């Protein structure tokens, strides 16, 4: 069998294209939801942490450390197969959204926090000395600088975690990897996997290029 027949079989491609496109859409909206929720939650937690209250800081740091330490696959399996034992039944996409959104939030919180702590103290003093409140100083002066500093790491982390939507294949989410790997078993051809790779590129390559432009602009 030739290389082309193995990886680029036209008949197989035509047959599974509709399924793959559906899966692409699923991966796309799941990724978008995870990125939006994860970054917003991470930003919110980092802002709460600036208040410097131990009863806020402690749970935030515990959440960030634990979520970053656990392999997401383990948590996904626990949520999907364990929680029903407690009467909590979540759909596959919901589990994926909660777990990966949470993990991204943990990383994002740390990145935003690192950015906030590297904003010089004088910036805060200049803001407060001109009559701005703590919140105004945070939102108008400290955060915009912290976000700019964090953009490269945030983009990398968001990419790494949205690619983990492929883990949905173990809990029956019809995303790109699960659809293509079942297509591969049915057809006996590796072509659906090639299609999966192309689908991932179609989603993430533009994001990577956009990220480069963003970094150029802000750093």
Asked if residue 118 binds another protein (CB under 8 A), the reply is no
Stretch that binds another protein, among 29-37, 129-137, 155-163, 171-179 (CB under 8 A): 129-137
DSSP state letters, 67-89: HHHS-HHHHHHIIIIIGGGGT--
End-to-end CA distance of the chain, in Å? 50
Stretch that binds another protein, among 21-29, 34-42, 128-136, 158-166 (CB under 8 A): 128-136
Of the candidate residues 57, 145, 181, 187, the single one contacting another protein (CB under 8 A): 145
Nearer to another protein, 65 or 140 (CB): 140
Count of residues that bind another protein according to CB under 8 A: 18
Of the candidate residues 85, 122, 213, 219, the single one contacting another protein (CB under 8 A): 122
Task: Tell which positions 7-36 bind another protein, by CB under 8 A.
Answer: none
Nearest approach in angstroms of CB 36 to another protein is: 23
Nearest to 123 by CA among 140, 110, 147: 140
Of the candidate residues 10, 82, 84, 144, the single one contacting another protein (CB under 8 A): 144
| 112 vs 38: CA distance, rounded Å | 12
Stretch that binds another protein, among 60-68, 70-78, 91-99, 115-123 (CB under 8 A): 115-123
Of the candidate residues 15, 128, 163, 174, the single one contacting another protein (CB under 8 A): 128
Structure tokens at 166: 């492929």
| 147 vs 128: CA distance, rounded Å | 20
Nearer to another protein, 77 or 147 (CB): 147
Does residue 46 contact residue 118 with C-beta atoms inside 8 Å? no
Structure tokens at 28: 């796309």
Nearest to 20 by CA among 203, 219, 212: 203
Task: Tell which positions 157-196 bind another protein, by CB under 8 A.
Answer: none
């Amino acid at each position: 069998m030739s290389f082309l027949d193995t990886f680029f079989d036209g008949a197989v491609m035509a047959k599974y294209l509709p399924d793959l496109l559906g899966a692409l859409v699923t991966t796309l909206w799941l990724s978008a939801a995870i990125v939006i929720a994860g970054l917003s939650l991470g930003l919110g937690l980092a802002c709460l942490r600036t208040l410097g209250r131990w009863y806020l800081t402690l749970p935030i740091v515990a959440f960030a450390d634990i979520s970053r330490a656990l392999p997401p696959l383990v948590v996904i399996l626990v949520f999907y197969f364990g929680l029903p034992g407690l009467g909590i039944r979540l759909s596959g996409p919901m589990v994926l959204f909660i777990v990966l959104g949470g993990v991204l939030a943990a990383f994002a919180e740390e990145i935003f926090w690192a950015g906030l702590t590297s904003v010089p103290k004088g910036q805060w003093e200049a803001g407060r000395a001109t009559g701005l409140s703590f919140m105004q100083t945070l939102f108008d002066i400290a955060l915009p600088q912290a976000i700019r500093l964090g953009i490269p790491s945030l983009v990398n982390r968001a990419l790494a975690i949205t690619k983990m939507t492929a883990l949905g294949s173990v809990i029956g989410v019809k995303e790109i990897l699960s659809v293509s790997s079942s297509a591969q078993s049915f057809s006996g051809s590796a072509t659906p996997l090639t299609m999966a790779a192309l689908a991932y590129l179609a989603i993430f390559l533009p994001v990577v290029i956009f990220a480069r432009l963003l970094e150029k602009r802000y750093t």
